[in-house]
Amino acid sequence: MLKIIHVTVNGREREIAVDERESLLDTLRNRLDLSSVKKGCEVGECGACTVLVDGEAIDSCIYLAMWADGKSVMTVEGLKSREGDLSPIQKAFIEEAAVQCGFCTPGIIMSAVEIVGTGKRYTREELRKLISGHLCRCTGYEKILDAVARSVEEHLRGAAD
């Protein structure tokens, strides 16, 4: 059965008809064409579908679209500036060579947005734990950790300026 939900997606208010059993992942990809949100395992194991809901990183494959009613959702498409520039975190992933095939990247970037948003400094082991919900078949994780650590440092430096 279809149900109407109201969601703010990447800053834009949307009214969407969704199936009651539909995942937020399917809504974002199939109804809103937000293809950065990747469909990997579909059981909450790989992190490829990670988006922010009210600022919290969640696996959108195991989150019903209906649960997002009245909430704010952000995907990688919402990170770029009005002029179309990449965000500092996206740039850090490129500069640290943390992207290979790129399938895992949007989900990890959204977790990085959550991590950076805490405004805290973390040890490398803490960062490793914080991104442990993401699987990457290509990079061996070290470059990803470099990118997340760089994003945190750049953010803290910017906040102190």
Q: How far is CA 62 from CA 16, 23, 41, in A?
A: 19, 6, 10
Q: Does 110 bind ligand FES (CB under 6 A)?
A: no
Task: Give the sign of the dihedral formed by CA 27, CA 30, CA 34, CA 38.
Answer: positive
Beta strands in the chain, from DSSP E residues, in sequence order: 2-9, 12-19, 50-53, 56-59, 72-74
Please say which residue, 6 or 141, places its beta carbon nearer to ligand FES.
141
| Binding test (CB under 6 A) with ligand FES, winner from 28, 46, 68, 115 | 46
Please say which residue, 100 or 156, places its beta carbon nearer to ligand FES.
100
The binding track of 58-97 with respect to ligand FES, each residue x by CB under 6 A or -, is: -x-x------------------------------------
**CA–CA dist 104, 38 (Å, integer):** 8
Query: What b/e string do you get for 101-117 counting C-beta neighbours within 10 Å, with b at 16 or more?
Result: eebbbbbbbbbbbbbbe
Please say which residue, 75 or 139, places its beta carbon nearer to ligand FES.
139
| Binding test (CB under 6 A) with ligand FES, winner from 8, 30, 72, 100 | 100
CB 41 within 8 A of CB 59: no
Q: Does 41 bind ligand FES (CB under 6 A)?
A: yes
Size of the site for ligand FES (CB under 6 A): 23
Please, what is the minimum distance in Å from the beta carbon of residue 82 to ligand FES? 28
Place of tokens 């990809």: 29
Instruction: Return residues touching ligand FES (CB under 6 A).
Output: 39-42, 44-49, 59, 61, 99-105, 136-139
